Structure 1
Amino acid sequence: MVERRPVLNFVQHFVLILGAAIFAFPIYLAFVASTHTGIEVNRGLPLLPGDQFFQNYATVLGEGLSTAGAPPIGLMLMNSTIMAMAIALGKIAISLLSSFAIVYFKFPFRVLAFWTIFITLMLPVEVRILPTYEVVAQLGMLNSYAGLSIPLIASATATFLFRQFFMTVPEELTEAARIDGAGPMKFFRDILVPLSRTNLAALFVILFIYGWNQYLWPLLVTTDESYYTVVMGIKRMANAGDSLPEWHLIMATAILALLPPVIVILGMQRLFVRGLVEVEK
């Protein structure tokens, strides 16, 4: 019999609620700032929402912040979404195929091939950014969605995770598929991919947010405003030069920039959690 301890339960819930409030408070302040005028925000950050909600959000959605060289946020949100989706889907597709080949095909130096891929974890994009930029420039992919996403789609982490999962698939399942006449790609498509659903969901959420938060690489490969991402736009808005930043519009942009990742997380929450904690496959 489990003993009920009301005091302990209260303390646990209080700590959890306090932790959630600490994390949520900066987001609340950003939202409050986005509902006031620039003069009110520069005078002192209020703690209650104002009456400029529709005006501020209509401004950033329709006009952008021309004084900072930032286009309307709708365009930047679209660019960030395209880049994040391309990076997430590209990483998953390449990692699935490479892991499948390493685990299920017997070819010379396959272990060396895996460790060569794995070692690239020590070479993030910031380390190899100059040669990567030179290759992208020579291929004419500057100021393009291909230039924003293709150099970032290889993922040693996803390859490692899929390899570890494929190695847990029972050998009897492979033999049964072979006896039924299933070829390698049919086995991959009809058995391995459905079994990997929770892993795919967890990796998609993580990789989408990774692509969404990219700043340095888009800053280097884009000079055309029509390819700016929302993270770049927020940074440009904050660099107001000699004038005061228009924090009410910057905060409205930041709140809107939160929405796509939040929607992805909420939409895939159940599969995402199962993919992180599930042990029995």
Structure 2
Amino acid sequence: MVENRPWLTFISHLVLIIGLAIVVFPVWVAFVASTYDPKSMLSGVVPLTPGDQFFQNYYQIFVEGLSSAGAPPVGLMMVNSMVMAMAIAIGKIAISIISAFAIVYFKFPGRVLAFWTIFITLMLPVEVRILPTFEVTAGLGLLNSYSGLTLPLIASATATFLFRQFFMTIPEELSEAARIDGAGPLKFFRDILLPLSRTNMAGLFVILFIYGWNQYLWPLIVTTDESYYTIVMGIQRMVTVPDSEPLWHVIMATVLLAMIPPVLVVVFMQRLFIKGLVETEK
């Protein structure tokens, strides 16, 4: 039981407010910067109140793009990032839960070896195997395509391991009862395991969506067509403008727009996300 001490409550709330201010202040500065013209941002004094260029700046980047930096409209890049993030998150969860189901509930020779082979790939992230992965992708003709952006990143040893550990906590009596009732493997998987895994899938979806949304190295390598650029690539191209100063008002507006989808995913799936992280037993 927590004691009701007014001074302790005041200090706790004060610490929370200070922490919130530290987190929110840079976001507020970015928003203010996105509402001014380029001269105001390069004057050396950063204002703290919004300017009068909000609609012009956001219309320019969202619809027209920034041709001087080789960046297409932000709307197109956000669609590409959304397709990539959704495909990676859903694909990783689908493949991992099926793999874990096969490893735990099917008795076949070499299943332990299969699991450890999958698990060992944790030591070989995509950055390490970037060249062979690119060769395979190029050989299959997947460059400059959504398939090339997503398929090489879909397999996940981490998600497979987490689902395997969760399935191993489910009592064997449950699968035996389903077998006695005449439920086959697919029915047991669809009607029992999937509902029990709902919170785990939600927690993994949030993490994997943000992982896919923030991808930079692989999209940079596999795409040369502007119509497949992602939002993270667009921000980097805006920052590294040759022979001119970066247009920070446009960059800050793009950064704020890039924050919206991950924030919405976290907000709307927060309850299931937290529940999936803290639940250890069903």
Bin for the TM-score computed over the shorter chain: over 0.9
**Structure 1 residue 22: deviation in Å?**
1.0
1:228 aligned residue: 229
Q: Which amino acid aligns with 1:14?
A: L
The corresponding residue for 2:259 is 258
**Structure 1 residue 7 displacement after superposition:** 1.2
1:112 correspondence with 2:113: yes
Deviations 1:157-196, CA, capped at 9 Å, x for gaps: 1001000000011111101110111100110011100100
Q: Which moved more, 1:5-14 or 1:118-127?
A: 5-14
TM-score by length of 1: 0.98
Shift of 1:2: 4.8
Unaligned runs of 5+ in 2: none
User: Counterpart in 1 of 2:216?
Assistant: 215
Counterpart of 2:120, as a letter, is I
Aligned to 1:269: 270
Please give the per-residue CA displacement for 1:200-246, whole angstroms capped at 9, x wherever unaligned.
00000000000000000000000000000000000001111111111
State the match for 1:4 in structure 2: 4
Residue of structure 2 in register with 1:27 after alignment: 27
TM-score when normalising by structure 2: 0.98
Q: Hey, what's the Cα distance between the residues in 2 that align with 1:229 and 1:238?
A: 15
Query: Deviations 1:124-145 (Å, cap 9, x if unpaired)?
Result: 1100000100110010000000
Aligned 1:120-135 pairs, distance under 5 A: 120-135=121-136
Q: Which residue of 2 aligns with 1:15?
A: 15
Distance 1:215 1:88 in 2: 16
What amino acid maps onto 2:247 in structure 1? E
The answer to whether the 8 A contact 2:61-2:74 is kept is: yes
Matched to 1:35, the amino acid is T
* CA–CA distance in structure 1, aligned partners of residues 120 and 13 of structure 2: 43
C-alpha displacement of 1:154: 0.5
- Alignment CA distance shift 1:58-1:280 (3 Å): same
- 1-side partners of 2:168 and 2:88: how far apart? 25
Contact 2:65-2:74 at 8 Å conserved across structures: yes
What amino acid maps onto 1:11 in structure 2? I
Cα deviation for residue 280 of structure 1 reads: 3.1
Distance in 1 separating the partners of 2:10 and 2:156: 43
- Percent of residue pairs identical: 74
1:17-96 equivalences in 2 (<5 Å): 17-43=17-43, 44-96=45-97
CA distance in 1, matches of 2:257, 2:2: 46
Distance 2:3 2:222 in 1: 61
Tell me how far apart the structure 1 counterparts of residues 160 and 147 of structure 2 sit (CA, whole Å).
22
Q: Flag structure 1 segments of 5+ consecutive residues without an equivalent.
A: none
* In 1: Cα distance, 2:229 partner to 2:147 partner: 14
